């Protein structure tokens, strides 16, 4: 129903009312321990989010807002999660989480700036409305391609759970988020059909991560019913087999405040305990069409439309709180009038002082290379290195990692494979912030990881081109390890490590193999710096190989040089080293401190003839 009609219906409540609780700060058992004061604050946020949504619609009609997408029907479950989770638990949402943002601390002024695409907003006008980025509230940058953000959540969950410490030189010394932090991922039921979501749930179980998957199931993805996506319209049916490994599957009503609070509390306690992740199918409504360009009355059964209207979480929550004496209808009316006046005023002020983004602002988020900044970061790591390199390489020689006991710059001519291997050893020796993982990169797998005596009798794998040879053997399985053979999962883990404060070196064997990860690679990995307005960066190096034509059945997919596909992605630096060893050392060292993801593409069979003269 229209918002004005909804408020009239609430303020004219004529049901039975219980006595008002005497102590506003006394926890109420029927509300899972929330106090009357907390409940009123939650309701205020819900009303605020709905009023902001109405203002966005008005701004759209006036031409100040270029796009509108609503959160109506999701406000209750948003505030339940926001109020129950810790303020520093990272949140990866989608474009329906306005109430979560506001309850975490986002200001109304910020929401007005976002609505009109103002460059003064935290996202700098780079994003369309409802795609925020708030590092101060642990709300990570959002993007329109939903589903892929689940892989970011899975990657972050794994990164938080990693036992490898993060240095004081990191952008987030000690790690951005605490070891017991819960990663909350909110997602619509339509996006759960994506490949990325399925893999993300798997990874959260596989890595025993503290992740909550909150499926806000209103039954419709634009005009597609959830019944056309899953049997019985239940997005959790495909994951029942994972329950024996710790996944907890929950189903509850996100329009009923008492039921929602009880289940959210249970979910948070379970996830925090480390028993496994949560997969929650939460019933919500859609109070309004998918977006400003959609009209659900064109395709939705009028009976179902009525169900959504009369199960509106704001209507039901207000009635429940009034009945239980938590708040009166008069207090709600007064609160609404105050919000209405405040938001109208802020909206007018934002429009009158509108500051558009400029070409320079956009360019500053795309062309960010700063050699001096890279050198300063590299120097910071080098200066804190408490290792005698010369002695270390003698030790590596004794362990038969290298044929010479000399530091690499004194070794002389070598193949590119050795140049890369030397460089990785140097970086891994220098800091624990570096991790490397991917397909076949480890020396050993399975039970052989722990068979140290048996390992001594074997050469070990170390990658199909041996460039990662002995890294796992020397630095351990927590820093160099094989991943499942899933390219999007490799990229997702790298994103998570960057968010947590590491500098990962994910590896995909061949350039052609990046294709299955194109969605998360292009739309998430490469855009993070831009869409967050520079608040987050992805200092990762993705190493792949190309060229060196191989005959036979695998020719196309083992040697193709499809560089054009990747060179045209904003936010990605594509680097191909020459056959000069000093270039290779300096290149890999430098890109490891870069802002953006880098696709380091290495051709086959290049022989290095020059000795290193200017090792940094």
pLDDT digits (tens, 9 = 90+) for 381-426: 989 988 999 999 999 999 999 999 999 989 988 888 898 999 999 9
The H or E element containing residue 278 is: strand 278-283
Residue whose token pair is 């820093």: 479
Domain membership of residue 174 (yes or no) is no
Domain match, 143 and 65 both: yes
pLDDT at residue 178, rounded to an integer: 97
Give pLDDT tens digits for 261-294.
999 999 999 999 999 999 999 999 999 888 888 8
**Domain boundary pick from 319, 354, 389:** 354
Q: What does the alpha-carbon distance between residue 50 and residue 328 come to, in Å, rounded to a whole number?
A: 19
pLDDT at residue 256, rounded to an integer: 98
**Domain boundary pick from 354, 374, 402:** 354
Beta strands in 14-141 (DSSP E): 91-92
Give pLDDT tens digits for 442-484.
999 999 999 999 999 999 999 988 999 999 999 999 999 999 9
Domain membership of residue 226 (yes or no) is yes
Domain match, 261 and 375 both: no
Give pLDDT tens digits for 241-270.
999 999 999 999 999 999 999 999 999 999
Chain centre distance of CA 480: 22
Mean pLDDT of 577-588: 61
Domain membership of residue 168 (yes or no) is no
Domain match, 460 and 381 both: yes
226-254 burial: b if 16+ Cβ within 10 Å, else e: beeebeeebbbeebeebeeebbbbbebbb
State the alpha helices, DSSP H only, in 510-577.
518-520, 528-531, 555-559, 563-567
* Model confidence band, residue 558 (pLDDT cutoffs 50, 70, 90): confident
**Of residues 309, 445, 357, 367, the one with CA closest to residue 120:** 357
Q: How many CA atoms lie within 13 A of 610 on its CB side?
A: 12
DSSP state of 521: I
Active-site residue, selected from the candidate residues 149, 290, 308, 558: 558
Give pLDDT tens digits for 127-172.
888 999 999 999 999 988 888 899 999 999 999 999 999 999 999 9
**pLDDT over 70, % of the chain:** 93
**Domain boundary pick from 321, 354, 387:** 354
SS3 content of the chain, % helix, strand, coil (to 5): 45, 10, 40
Contact 209, 161 (CB under 8 A): yes
Domain membership of residue 231 (yes or no) is yes
Query: Is residue 308 annotated as a catalytic residue, yes or no?
Result: no
Give pLDDT tens digits for 319-366.
999 999 999 999 999 999 999 999 999 999 999 999 999 988 888 888
The answer to whether residue 614 scores a pLDDT higher than 50 is no
The answer to whether residue 611 scores a pLDDT higher than 50 is no
Pick from 304-313, 470-479, 513-522, 593-602: least confident? 593-602
Domain membership of residue 167 (yes or no) is no
Domain match, 423 and 501 both: yes
What's the whole-model pTM score? 0.92
Domain match, 107 and 243 both: yes
* Model confidence band, residue 607 (pLDDT cutoffs 50, 70, 90): very low
Domain match, 561 and 430 both: yes
CA angle 89, 94, 96 (to 5 degrees): 105
Is residue 392 packed enough to be buried (19+ CB in 10 Å), middle (13-18) or exposed (0-12)? middle
Q: What does the alpha-carbon distance between residue 264 and residue 239 come to, in Å, rounded to a whole number?
A: 20
Domain match, 259 and 377 both: no
Domain match, 337 and 469 both: no
Q: What does the alpha-carbon distance between residue 436 and residue 439 come to, in Å, rounded to a whole number?
A: 10
Domain membership of residue 172 (yes or no) is no
The answer to whether residue 66 scores a pLDDT higher than 50 is yes
Domain match, 303 and 381 both: no
Domain match, 251 and 371 both: no
Domain match, 195 and 280 both: yes
Residue whose token pair is 């049901």: 15
* Model confidence band, residue 609 (pLDDT cutoffs 50, 70, 90): very low
Domain membership of residue 614 (yes or no) is no
Domain match, 146 and 29 both: yes
* Model confidence band, residue 577 (pLDDT cutoffs 50, 70, 90): confident
Instruction: Provide the CATH number for the domain around residue 251.
Output: 3.40.50.970
Task: Give the structural domain span for 268.
Answer: 3-162+181-354
Domains: count for the chain: 2
Domain membership of residue 418 (yes or no) is yes
The answer to whether residue 613 scores a pLDDT higher than 60 is no
Q: What does the alpha-carbon distance between residue 562 and residue 345 come to, in Å, rounded to a whole number?
A: 53
């Amino acid at each position: 129903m229209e918002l004005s009609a909804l408020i009239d219906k609430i303020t004219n409540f004529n049901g039975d009312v219980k006595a008002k609780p005497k102590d506003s700060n006394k926890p109420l058992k029927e509300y899972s321990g929330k106090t009357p004061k907390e409940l009123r604050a939650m309701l205020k946020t819900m009303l605020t989010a709905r009023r902001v949504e109405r203002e966005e619609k008005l701004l759209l009609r006036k031409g100040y807002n270029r796009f509108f997408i609503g959160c109506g029907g999701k406000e209750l479950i948003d505030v339940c999660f926001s109020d129950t989770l810790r303020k520093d638990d990272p949140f990866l949402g989608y474009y329906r989480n306005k109430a979560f943002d506001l309850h975490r601390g986002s200001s109304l002024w910020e929401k007005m700036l976002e609505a009109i695409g103002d460059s003064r907003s935290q996202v700098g006008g780079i994003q369309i409305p409802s795609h925020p980025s708030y590092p101060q509230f642990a709300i990570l940058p959002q993007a329109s391609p939903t589903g892929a953000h689940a892989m970011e959540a899975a990657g972050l969950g794994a990164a938080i759970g990693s036992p490898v410490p993060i240095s004081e030189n990191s952008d987030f010394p000690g790690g951005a988020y605490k070891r017991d932090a819960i990663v909350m991922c909110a997602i619509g039921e339509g996006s759960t059909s994506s490949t990325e979501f399925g893999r993300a749930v798997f990874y959260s179980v596989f890595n025993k991560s503290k992740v909550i998957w909150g499926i806000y199931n209103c039954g419709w993805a634009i005009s597609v019913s959830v019944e056309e996506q899953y049997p019985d319209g239940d997005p959790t049916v495909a994951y029942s087999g994972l329950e024996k490994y710790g996944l907890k599957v929950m189903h509850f009503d996100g329009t009923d405040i008492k039921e929602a609070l009880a289940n959210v509390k249970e979910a948070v306690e379970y996830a925090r305990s480390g028993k496994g992740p949560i997969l929650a199918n939460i019933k919500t409504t859609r109070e309004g069409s998918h977006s400003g360009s959609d009209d659900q009355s064109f395709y939705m059964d009028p009976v179902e439309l009525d169900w959504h209207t009369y199960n509106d979480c704001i209507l039901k929550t207000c009635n429940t709180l009034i009945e239980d004496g938590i708040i009166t209808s008069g207090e709600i009316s007064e609160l609404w009038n105050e919000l209405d006046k405040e938001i109208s005023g802020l909206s007018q002020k934002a429009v009158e002082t509108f500051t558009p983004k400029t070409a320079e602002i956009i360019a500053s988020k795309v062309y960010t290379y700063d050699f001096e900044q890279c050198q300063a970061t590299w120097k910071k790591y080098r200066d804190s290195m408490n290792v005698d390199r010369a002695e270390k390489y003698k030790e590596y020689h004794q362990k038969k990692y290298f044929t010479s006991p000399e530091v690499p710059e004194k070794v002389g001519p070598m193949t590119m494979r050795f140049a890369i291997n030397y460089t990785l050893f140097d970086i891994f020796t220098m800091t624990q912030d570096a991790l490397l993982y991917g397909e076949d990169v480890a020396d050993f797998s399975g039970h052989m990881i722990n068979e140290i005596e048996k390992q001594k009798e074997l050469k070990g794998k170390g990658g199909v081109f041996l460039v990662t040879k002995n890294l796992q053997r020397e630095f351990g399985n927590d820093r160099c390890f094989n991943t499942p053979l899933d390219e999007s999962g490799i990229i997702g883990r790298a994103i998570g490590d960057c968010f947590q404060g590491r500098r990962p070196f994910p590896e995909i064997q061949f350039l052609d193999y990046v294709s299955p990860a194109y969605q998360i690679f292009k739309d998430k990995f490469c855009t993070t710096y831009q869409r967050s307005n520079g608040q987050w960066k992805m200092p990762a190096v993705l190493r792949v190989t190309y060229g060196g034509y191989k005959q036979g059945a695998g020719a196309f997919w083992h040697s193709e040089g499809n560089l054009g596909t990747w060179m045209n992605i904003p936010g990605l630096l594509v680097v191909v080293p020459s056959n000069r060893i000093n270039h290779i050392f300096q290149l890999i060292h430098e890109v490891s401190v870069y802002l953006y993801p880098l696709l380091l593409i290495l051709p086959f069979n290049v022989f290095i003839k020059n000795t290193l003269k200017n090792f940094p």
